[in-house]
Amino acid sequence: MRLAKYIAALLPAICLYGCTGYRLPAGYVKVEPTYDVQFRAVSAEGSALTYRIEENPENGNLAFWEKAATNRLVEVRGYQLTDRQEVRNEHGTPGVEMTFDYSQIGIDYVYLLTMFVRGDRVHVFEAAGPRETFTPDLPAIRKAIAEWPL
Amino acid sequence: MTRRVAVMLLLAGLAGLSGCTQAKKTPIVAYAAAPASPAYSSAPDAAAKLDYPVESVGTSSGQPSGQEGFQLASAVDSSLPVNSRMIIYKATLQMSVVDIEAALTSAQKLCTEAGGYMDALTSHSITLRVPARNFDRVLDDVRKLGQMLSREIRAQDVTEEYVDLRLRLKNAEATRDRLLAILEKAKTVKETLEVERELSRVREEIERIKGRLAFLERETAFSTIHITFSLPAPTQVIRNRPPTPFAWLDALGVERVLQLDR
């Protein structure tokens, strides 16, 4: 039982160790992650891509997390959901991709949230940047997320 | 002789009252000088809708700009053009921004570009005075500075007070002119002193009315926008929702991804 707890605690690290198969989006460099994300990369323009793994409680599914995330971002934080689509990564894992608009100090940002649920883990990709400079990066970011080994 | 002066003063006072009554019977032609914000002006041609008639006081030369408004204010006269409602607009905003210093600078810049000026500044708030005609535009621009937490806009219609003051000013000036005429006819020192005392009182009244008119013109020509900025709290909410046990959901968003809050 104790061993199982250790494994569970080490799982993110183990996963990250195993995440050597990822490919950075073109124009992005890997930097030291902050807060509680496991991965962070930034562009020269200041846009960023982060990746985090969260626990998926019993009965949690993609629909639950999509609804929970949308509720916090739109209802609580004032983000505007501009696009939503169901996606599937290159390994066949179903996910959901949501695009939001957000303004801060006169700057219009685009925020891309992509989530996959695999077993007891939720894989969360966040990418954001000023609309003008970030929009051209979107294809490369989507490609990197699709190829990411979960 | 003193009795004659007293009678003349009494008559002057009565004439003033009479003038006031006559003025009220004169039909409206136009009134109110300062510009009102188009989007908030509920009755731009409301002159004809006043409950009481107002005397025509000159020809309109268009809406004064902010500076013109101030000049008018310092030299009120009975020929001031009047053509719309006089409304004082005041907006009080509370906004959440990631950089208060930058937001204060941006707000000041927006105000200056709109032809206004900064009225007060603290470490986290700013009071702007913007030409009334640009009130809406500046408000729209300001809201882009961050997240609007609250907004309160007050509109105070001072048309009635303004029109009333203009009438009182005109009557006071007429009384003053009559007193000056009486003063010229005064034959004794006592008569002169009596008339001058009354004249002084009327002049004080004229200055007081002009001061109030100037204030109203200034307040309607420039709208006030007071903004208080605050930093976003991690759990800051636009709408209250019960918390979830998944704290990471609250960490989602542009601020954390781009580290705007660092």
pLDDT at A80: 92
Residues of chain A with a CB closer than 8 angstroms to some CB in chain B: 34-37, 46-50, 52, 54, 68-69, 71-73, 75-79, 102-106, 109, 111, 113, 124, 126-129
Q: B79 and B8, same structural domain?
A: yes
- Binned at pLDDT 50, 70 and 90, residue B24 comes out as very low
How many structural domains compose chain B?
2
Task: Give the nearest partner residue to A52 out of B102, B237, B248, using CB atoms.
Answer: B248
B254, part of any domain:
no
| Residue where a domain stops, chosen among B155, B172, B190 | B155
Instruction: Return the pLDDT at A9.
Output: 52
CB contact under 8 A, B252 and A105: no
| One domain for residues B124 and B163 | no
- Read off the pLDDT of residues B143-166 as tens digits, 9 standing for 90 and up: 888 878 888 899 999 999 999 999
- Taking the CB of residue B255, how many other CB atoms lie within 10 A of it? 20
Of B120, B155, B190, the position where a domain reaches its end is B155
Given an 8 Å threshold on Cβ–Cβ distance, is B249 in contact with A124?
no
Same domain, B210 and B169: yes
| Chain B residues in contact with A34 (beta carbon < 8 A) | 259, 262
CB-defined contacts A:B, below 8 A = 86
Q: For residue A2, what pLDDT is reported?
A: 55
Q: Classify residue B229: in a domain, yes or no.
A: no
* Length of chain B (residues): 262
In angstroms, the separation between the Cα of residue B242 and the nearest Cα of chain A is 10
Three-state secondary-structure class, residue B258: coil
- Residue B4 pLDDT class (50, 70, 90 cuts): low
Q: Mind telling me how many Å the CA of A90 is from chain B's nearest CA?
A: 24
Instruction: Answer whether residue B114 shows pLDDT above 90.
Output: yes
Let me know whether B150 and B188 are in one domain: no
On whether both B134 and B76 belong to a single domain, the answer is no
Model pTM above 0.90: no
Each residue's pLDDT tens digit, A15-56: 444 445 788 999 999 998 876 788 999 999 999 999 999 999
Same-domain pairing of B165 and B147:
no
Mean pLDDT over B65-80 rounds to 37
End-to-end CA distance of chain A: 25
Based on the fold, state whether residues B125 and B92 are members of the same structural domain. Answer: yes
- Quote the ipTM score: 0.83
Note whether B62 and B12 are same-domain residues.
Answer: yes
Residues 6+ apart with CB under 8 A from A39: A16, A19, A22, A30, A33, A49, A50, A51, A52
Q: Summarize the confidence of residues B132-143 as an average pLDDT.
A: 91
Indicate whether B6 and B26 sit together in one domain: yes
| Residue B237 located in a structural domain | no
Instruction: Work out the pLDDT band at B107, boundaries 50, 70, 90.
Output: very high
Q: How many residues does chain A have?
A: 150
A129–B238 C-beta distance less than 8 A = no
In a domain, B244, yes or no: no
DSSP state of B232: P
Q: What residues of chain A lie within 8 A of the CB of B260, using their CB?
A: 104
- What ranges in B115-259 are assigned the alpha helix state H? 135-143, 159-185, 189-221, 247-250, 254-257
Tokens of A94: 């179903």
Distance of CA A50 to the CA centre of its chain: 6
Taking each helix axis as running N to C, give the angle between helix B66-74 and helix B189-221, from 0 to 180 degrees, rounded to the nearest 10: 170
Question: Does position A12 have pLDDT exceeding 60, yes or no?
Answer: no
pLDDT attached to residue B7: 53
Give the closest-approach CA distance of B93 to chain A in angstroms.
15
Q: What is the pLDDT of residue B143?
A: 83
User: Are A104 and B102 an interchain contact pair (Cβ–Cβ within 8 Å)?
Assistant: no
B31 and B99: one domain? no
Secondary structure of chain A in HEC code, one letter for each residue: CHHHHHHHHHHHHHHHHHHHHCCCCCCEEEECCCCCCCEEEEECCCCEEEEEEEECCCCCCHHHHHHHHHHHHHHHCCCEEEEEEEEECCCCCEEEEEEEEEEECCEEEEEEEEEEEECCEEEEEEEEEEHHHHHHHHHHHHHHHHHCCC
Q: How far is CA B260 from CA A47, A72, A109, B238, B255, in A?
A: 11, 19, 12, 19, 5
* Greater pLDDT, B78 or B40: B78
pLDDT of residue A6: 52
User: Would you place residue B260 in the very low, low, confident or very high pLDDT band (cuts 50, 70, 90)?
Assistant: confident
Task: Evaluate whether residue B46 is within a structural domain.
Answer: yes
Q: Can you give the residue range of the structural domain that contains B108? A: 88-155
**B16 and B146 assigned to the same domain:** no
Which residues, 6+ apart, have CB-to-CB distance to B5 below 8 Å?
A: B182, B186, B191, B194, B195
The pLDDT of residue B186: 87
Give A109's contacts in chain B (Cβ within 8 Å).
254, 258
Please tell me the distance from the alpha carbon of residue B202 to that of residue B179, in angstroms, as a whole number. 9
Query: CB distance B106–A75 less than 8 Å?
Result: no
> Is A48's CB within 8 Å of B258's CB?
yes
Nearest CB to B248; choose among A54, A79, A103: A54
Give domain status of residue B34, yes or no.
yes
Look at residues B133, B155, B177 and tell me which one is the last residue of a structural domain.
B155
Residue B59 inside a domain? The answer is: yes
pLDDT by residue (tens digit) across A58-112?
889 999 999 999 998 998 888 999 999 999 999 899 999 999 999 877 788 999 9
Same domain, yes or no, for B9 and B80? yes
Judged by a CB distance cut-off of 8 A, whether residue B242 touches chain A is no
> What is the per-residue pLDDT across A108-142, written as a single tens digit (0 to 9) for each?
899 999 999 999 999 999 999 999 999 999 999 99
Q: For the domain that residue B108 is a member of, what is the CATH number?
A: 3.30.70.1150
